[in-house]
Amino acid sequence: MSSWERFPETLKVIKEARDARQHHGVQIYISLQGETLLDSAWGTQGEGESLTAEAVMLWLSAGKPLTTVALGVLHDRGQLDWGDSLGQWIPEWAMFGHPDVTLAQLLMHTAGLENRDWGWPENTWSEIVSKILQSPLPEGWVPGEKAGYVVAASWFLLGEVIVRITSQNFSSALNELVLAPLGMENSFCGLDEEEYQTVEPRLGKMFGRVPGGLENLNWNQRDRVINAAPGGNCRGPIRELGRFYESLLPKADSNILRRETLRDLTSRQRVGMFDETFRHRVDWGYGFMINSNRYGAQTAPYSFGRYAGAETFGHGGSQCAIGFADPEHGLVVAWVANGRIGEPRHHERNLKLNQAIYEDLELVH
């Protein structure tokens, strides 16, 4: 029996979405109780070129948890604490008159930073961090009292904390703290010029929806690959994101975090708060979204599906991807579609695909 033959409903959803011009192909990884059940790709990269499981795909925000775990490693080394003030690590934050904000609040999206264009990838890392530091918080926002998902700003600041503690650039620090220890040899967030020349032929394409179909977004341009953006520019074959989540399951023997730290990251730290960005109540750990079906199984953003266990944790990638671990079932899922189709259409695709995976595995309850 081939891997796909165990997932007929999953494949049906993928094909139907292709027929509806929502993507050309999907790369997917599924494991259950440590056994890899599906490590494959289906479809094309457009213009007849097959999409393979080896393609280096853009994960967008699904890569945010890599930064979270890097911070967790530094926490376990005694180099930071979740209650640390941002100003402790980046004194300029206080110099510009900002209120006290903790690393925990940044990770829970309660710090109140703005969602706007910071000039990536044209601007340098230092220029972007400087712009964020000089920007005021929304009027009336008291850190910790309101919630709003932050796409980029807080992640550049968290990345800057890593840079200042390790005295490395972000890309190198992420590799040393997370990617290399977990054997994620083909994953990265930022490259040097020589590495880019090597990986460029393997980069998977990303398409955007236009009237009548999909168009290539041309997001494999040099600056978009070389310049690190912790909130949305991690790339790799999706199997490596899946293996990252395998390492975070409670029974994993490959985890690089202490059990207490893992629990802090992946259990509810922010509960029942209305998210001003998603316009929905969403629970969060430190950097991970926690199953929020309790607030609406059909409406929760970037849901893990109606059948996911209550303690499932993970993170979606804008309009195209998701990675998550379900400790109740020992299930890990990671997939990326090469079509960004707008939030409403992706919400429907995401729900259908994640639910089909559970149905194929007979984990429906």
In this structure, is residue 177 part of a structural domain? no
One domain, residues 24 and 147: no
pLDDT, position 1: 41
Q: Angle 179-318-162 (CA atoms, 0-180°, nearest 5)?
A: 35
Last residue of a domain, one of 150, 172, 194: 172
Q: Do 32 and 53 belong to one domain?
A: yes
Judge if 260 and 315 occupy the same domain: yes
Q: Which of 106, 137, 172 is the last residue of a domain?
A: 172
- In this prediction, the residues of the chain whose per-residue pLDDT falls under 50 are 1
Q: What is the pLDDT of residue 2?
A: 58
Q: Is residue 77 part of a domain?
A: yes
Number of structural domains (the chain) is 2
Question: What integer pLDDT is reported at residue 52 of this predicted model?
Answer: 97
Of 33, 15, 31, residue with least CA distance to 23: 15
Strands (E), the chain: 25-32, 35-43, 57-58, 207-210, 213-216, 235-236, 274-275, 280-281, 283-284, 289-290, 313-317, 321-326, 331-337, 339-340
Residue 181 located in a structural domain:
no
Domain that holds residue 8: 4-62+186-269+288-360
Residues 232 and 120 in one domain: no
pTM for the structure as a whole? 0.97
- Look up residue 308 and give its DSSP letter: S
83 and 200 both lie in a single domain: no
The answer to whether position 179 is within a domain reads: no
Could you give phi then psi for residue 6, rounded to 5 degrees? Answer: -85, -10
End residue of a domain, out of 172, 206, 222: 172
Nearest to 75 by CA among 87, 85, 66, 83: 83
Instruction: Say if 214 falls within a structural domain.
Output: yes
Mind giving me the DSSP string for 161-191? HHHHHHTS-HHHHHIIIIITTTT-TT-BSS-
CB neighbour list of residue 122: distance below 8 Å, 6 or more residues apart:
223
